């Protein structure tokens, strides 16, 4: 007799690792499973994003050869022997292509496994957490094949890609429905509705009769008429299988939304409501429960944790005497004694890394082009405040500064003016890492809606292609595919070269580039305390990414997880 499940939740996969934290604990699907199981639904999760997953399906000889060639490439590049580097890169390309072919064959075979599970267990819903690039292409292939093989299964998309692309994702995929925002409540209602009807067509008719004609369901802060309550703050129950091959850091929902929500470039402006905090006591309870599973590293999920909310969380952590480290996104502010004391308190509670979106050091551009609402002085003062507060607390707290470069310019200001102001900001603030992103044009942002005014020239098929665009940091810019847009006469290749110019100049200052806040936090915990340590981490993790290997990351994650368990034992 078939063991019937009502919903299969799947994390999308890409053939290559893109960032070092790809194998973080999968909090989103665990939250959905926990909530739905508590409501009496039968749920199963498929999550192939594990530390060593990038090697699955690739013969060992191919992995070893590719690692050797990439090692040689990097040595030649670091010695500035660029002609020899280019020759070796060309020789490496067929091996890389073969390795990627093996991976794609394997990841596509997983689609067949998922279809077999759906058929064997007669599963009525498939929910897919959708990511960008190749992971989106894989997700859409999954949806297409499931639709053909299991026509009565309802296929629902969710996750980061839906929040960025919304309706455009549905226009360019085979999903039946998509959820923009938290999915717990609406999935519960979908499952309940499906129990009452005969088949998929009956469900879709009943669903659209209740929710309207749109295939995109907006929830949480994306729906101005919906209240945010405890239904969206579920504490996930991780199982032993969920922890295997994962990095022991948990993305913790501290709230939803953004207090500013007006940046011209940011897809978060799709959110219809201001920041909605989660009760600080609930957050501390979640940390305490997860500590019992050996988890001591946490990243707050909000695009910005307001300082007063962060202060309340810190007070609850200290009250419970929890031994953890956490990182968060923060907004630059006018520094006051209260701001300083709040950072000191959060650092005492375990804050070890802060990510600050600066966007540019040019105040006029930040006001007129970015609409960020902060100044260069705010950024410098906030970063220095964090450093001083850390000194007083007797702890380390690293700061990552994020910039968008190049960017649109106006009123006689040149790209070189922006470059110089960025360098002045970096030299004055002296962050622990700088993350430099090229300008991106995303649906429903001001940069997209008023592209002509900002100087963007966007191709008609841009959105459909950009959803599938694989951001490959190891490719020379001349080998990148066209992004699908240009900016004020600069082609996509020109834009990427200019991004690389700023990154190179930052590296010349001895500051590592493009290290995420959670890795600043976790590498600090295992003794990577200097910039040289971070540069080594960046170089060796990049080697893994370029070679499709996990050799170095397995070593690092083993240290991080052991440190996490040691810290967590002190909280229990």
pLDDT in tens, 287-319: 999 999 999 999 999 889 999 999 999 999 999
pLDDT in tens, 495-519: 988 998 999 999 999 999 888 888 8
- Asked whether 263 and 371 are in contact (CB, 8 A), the reply is yes
Task: Identify which has the larger pLDDT, 67 or 19.
Answer: 67
479, pLDDT greater than 70: no
Highest mean pLDDT of the ranges 13-27, 249-263, 359-373: 359-373
> What's residue 1's pLDDT?
32
Residue pointed to by tokens 């945010």:
228
Handedness of CA 253, 259, 262, 265 (dihedral sign): negative
> What's residue 474's pLDDT?
46
Half-sphere exposure of 142 (CA within 13 A, CB side): 35
What is the mean pLDDT of the segment spanning 70-87? Answer: 85
Task: Identify which has the larger pLDDT, 79 or 195.
Answer: 195
Handedness of CA 454, 455, 456, 459 (dihedral sign): positive
Query: How many C-beta atoms surround the C-beta of residue 529 within 10 A?
Result: 13
Which residues does 313 contact at the CB level (< 8 Å), separation at least 6? 254, 280, 283, 284, 305, 346, 349
Per-residue confidence band for 424, with pLDDT thresholds at 50, 70 and 90: very high
CA distance 410 to 415: 10
- Asked whether 358 and 332 are in contact (CB, 8 A), the reply is yes
β-strands 276-277, 255-256 pairing: antiparallel
120, pLDDT greater than 90: yes
> Among 326, 470, 5, which Cα is nearest to 194's?
5
CA distance 53 to 565: 23
Percentage of the chain lying above the pLDDT 90 cut: 72
186, pLDDT greater than 90: yes
Per-residue confidence band for 230, with pLDDT thresholds at 50, 70 and 90: low
> What's residue 473's pLDDT?
53
> Among 358, 367, 490, which Cα is nearest to 430's?
358
> What's residue 266's pLDDT?
92
Per-residue confidence band for 223, with pLDDT thresholds at 50, 70 and 90: confident
> What's residue 472's pLDDT?
57
CA 107 to chain centre: 21
Beta bridge partners of 403: 359, 436
pLDDT in tens, 446-466: 999 999 999 999 998 899 889
Structure tokens at 266: 């940011």
Task: Identify which has the larger pLDDT, 229 or 33.
Answer: 33
475, pLDDT greater than 60: no
| Rounded to 5°, angle at Cα 472 from 469 and 476 | 120
82, pLDDT greater than 90: no
- Asked whether 261 and 303 are in contact (CB, 8 A), the reply is no
As a whole number, the mean pLDDT across the chain is 91
The strand order across the sheet containing 7-11 reads 43-47, 7-11, 125-129, 154-158, 177-180, 216-218
CA distance 414 to 143: 46
DSSP class of residue 232?
G
Which residues does 323 contact at the CB level (< 8 Å), separation at least 6? 291, 296, 350, 567, 568, 570, 571
Handedness of CA 318, 319, 322, 323 (dihedral sign): positive
What is the mean pLDDT of the segment spanning 388-392? Answer: 97
- Asked whether 179 and 187 are in contact (CB, 8 A), the reply is yes
């Amino acid at each position: 007799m078939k063991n019937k499940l009502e919903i299969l939740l799947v994390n999308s996969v890409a053939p290559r690792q893109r960032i070092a934290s790809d194998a973080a604990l999968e909090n989103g699907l665990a939250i959905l499973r926990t909530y739905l199981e508590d409501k009496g639904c039968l749920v199963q999760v498929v999550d192939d994003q594990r530390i060593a997953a990038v090697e699955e399906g690739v013969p060992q000889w191919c992995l070893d050869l590719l690692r050797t060639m990439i090692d040689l490439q990097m040595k030649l590049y670091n010695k500035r022997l660029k002609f020899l580097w280019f020759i070796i890169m060309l020789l490496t390309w067929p091996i890389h292509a073969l390795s990627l072919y093996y991976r794609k064959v394997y990841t596509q075979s997983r689609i067949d496994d998922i279809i077999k599970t759906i058929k064997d267990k007669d599963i009525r819903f498939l929910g897919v957490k959708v990511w960008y690039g190749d992971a989106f292409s894989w997700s859409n292939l999954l949806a297409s094949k499931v639709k053909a093989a299991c026509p009565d299964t309802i296929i629902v998309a969710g996750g980061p890609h839906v929040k960025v692309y919304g309706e455009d994702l549905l226009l360019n995929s085979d999903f039946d429905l998509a959820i923009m925002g938290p999915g717990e409540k609406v999935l519960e209602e979908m499952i309940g509705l499906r129990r009452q009807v005969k088949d998929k067509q009956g469900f879709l008719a009943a669903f659209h009769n209740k929710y309207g004609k749109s295939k995109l369901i907006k929830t949480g802060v994306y729906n101005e008429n919906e209240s945010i309550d405890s239904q969206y703050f579920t504490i996930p129950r991780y199982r032993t299988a969920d922890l295997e091959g994962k990095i022991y850091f948990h993305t913790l929902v501290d709230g939803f939304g953004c207090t500013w929500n007006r940046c011209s470039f940011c897809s978060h402006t799709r959110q219809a409501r201001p920041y909605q905090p989660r009760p600080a006591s609930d957050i501390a309870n979640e940390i305490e429960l997860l500590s019992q599973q050996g988890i001591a590293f946490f990243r707050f999920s909000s695009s910005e944790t307001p300082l007063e909310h962060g202060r309340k969380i810190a007070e609850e952590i200290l009250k419970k005497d929890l031994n953890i480290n956490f990182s968060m996104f923060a907004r630059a502010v006018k520094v006051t004694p209260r701001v300083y004391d709040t950072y000191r308190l959060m650092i005492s509670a375990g804050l070890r890394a802060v990510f600050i979106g600066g966007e540019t050091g040019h105040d006029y551009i930040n006001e007129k082009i970015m609409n960020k609402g902060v100044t260069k002085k705010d950024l410098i003062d906030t970063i220095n405040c964090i450093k001083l507060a850390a000194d007083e607390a007797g702890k380390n707290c690293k700061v990552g500064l994020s910039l968008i470069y190049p960017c649109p310019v106006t009123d006689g200001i040149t790209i070189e003016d922006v470059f110089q102001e960025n360098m002045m900001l970096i030299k004055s603030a002296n962050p622990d890492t700088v993350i430099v992103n090229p300008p991106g044009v995303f649906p429903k942002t001001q940069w997209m809606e008023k592209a002509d005014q900002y100087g963007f020239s966007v191709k008609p098929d841009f959105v459909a292609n950009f959803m599938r665009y694989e951001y490959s940091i190891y490719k020379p810019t001349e080998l990148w595919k066209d992004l699908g847009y240009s900016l004020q006469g600069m082609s996509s290749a020109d834009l990427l070269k200019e991004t690389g110019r700023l990154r190179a100049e930052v590296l010349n200052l001895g500051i590592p580039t493009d290290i995420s806040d959670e890795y600043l936090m976790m590498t600090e915990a295992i003794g990577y305390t200097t910039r040289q340590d971070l540069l080594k981490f960046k170089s060796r993790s990049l080697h893994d990414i370029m070679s499709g290997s996990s050799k170095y990351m397995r070593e690092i994650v083993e240290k991080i997880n052991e440190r996490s368990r040691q810290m967590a034992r002190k909280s229990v």
